[in-house]
Amino acid sequence: MSSDVKNGRVETCKDSEAVAQHVADFLTEKALAKTDGPFVIALSGGSTPKRLYEILADSKHAARFPWDRVQLFFGDERFVPVDDESNNYRMTNLALLSHVDVPPANVHRMPTDGDPADAARRYERELKTVYGADALEPGRPLFDVVLLGLGENGHTASLFPDTDVLKETEAWVGTCVPHDAPHTRLTLTYKAIASSRYVLFLVAGASKAEVVKLVRAGDEKQPASHITTEGELVWMLDEKAAGHGG
Ligand code: 6PG
């Protein structure tokens, strides 16, 4: 199967806490079910993912999750030092990685040293090593799950409006300098995200209801509207982001 933002399934939870709980259960079940290779996740920054990571680190989930079989990548990163408060790896480490038994070699942080374009190439190389090939093969997805958020300006990962990375069709990782947000970024490209079994959009709050509606209608101006997957796309929304009772 393949899907996109328009035909993706919608799962609505009461609030952002319920979204995070639901996705923690989803990831745990899918990771336990995959026994024929590593379970590869692209992690996201953002507020709902942070809560998700805290839940995965709680004793109920952490004890069941097959940490030794997981490979953790990042969907995007601000090009700032790892101790900067806006660094996604830092947040993920504090919320999750420092509390669970994941082998350090299975955690692939986006580099934020040297030249951004070179760092993007280095990260792509790391993805290719774990994937075991230099070209993506249809039917053999790079990621089991890609976690994505959605910004009010329609960005997802660090695919920001009116930036060159939106036109990238070959590279798996690119750089982005947003016009409307701080920091140069590294980001997975549309092509890399599409090589996935599941793409999950985690979106919560009334301030996101309008952009969720636009993206789900396929509004081409929103970068998130161009996300596709060879697997299944699922909108994990709270009631407010879904436009109910908001
Ligand atoms: C990041 C994310 C970014 C985020 C959206 C939504 O690093 O912050 O990758 O794409 O998901 O900006 O963020 P919230 O869920 O916090 O609103």
pLDDT at residue 245 greater than cutoff 70: no
Q: How far apart are CA 223 and CA 215, in angstroms?
A: 8
Q: How far apart are CA 132 and CA 141, in angstroms?
A: 11
pLDDT at residue 246 greater than cutoff 80: no
Q: How far apart are CA 179 and CA 145, in angstroms?
A: 29
| Cα dist from 162 to 55, 138, 151, 180, whole Å | 35, 29, 14, 10
Residues 6+ apart with CB under 8 A from 145: 27, 30, 39, 40, 41, 42, 196, 197, 198, 199, 200
How close is the Cα of 50 to the center of ligand 1, in Å?
Answer: 10
Q: Calculate the average pLDDT of the chain.
A: 97
Q: How far apart are CA 95 and CA 27, in angstroms?
A: 16
pLDDT digits (tens, 9 = 90+) for 97-132: 999 999 999 999 999 999 999 999 999 999 999 999
157 in contact with ligand 1, CB cutoff 6 A: yes
Domains with residue ranges and CATH for the chain: 3-238 (3.40.50.1360)
Specify the pTM.
Answer: 0.98
45 in contact with ligand 1, CB cutoff 6 A: yes
How close is the Cα of 88 to the center of ligand 1, in Å?
Answer: 10
- Across the beta sheet with 39-43, the strand order is 9-13, 232-238, 196-203, 143-148, 39-43, 70-74
Token digits of residue 10: 């919608």
User: Which residues face 174 on adjacent strands?
Assistant: 187
43 in contact with ligand 1, CB cutoff 6 A: no
76 in contact with ligand 1, CB cutoff 6 A: yes
pLDDT digits (tens, 9 = 90+) for 138-188: 999 999 999 999 999 999 999 999 999 999 999 999 999 999 999 999 999
User: Which residues face 107 on adjacent strands?
Assistant: 72
Q: Ligand 1: which residue has its CA nearest to atom 14?
A: 46
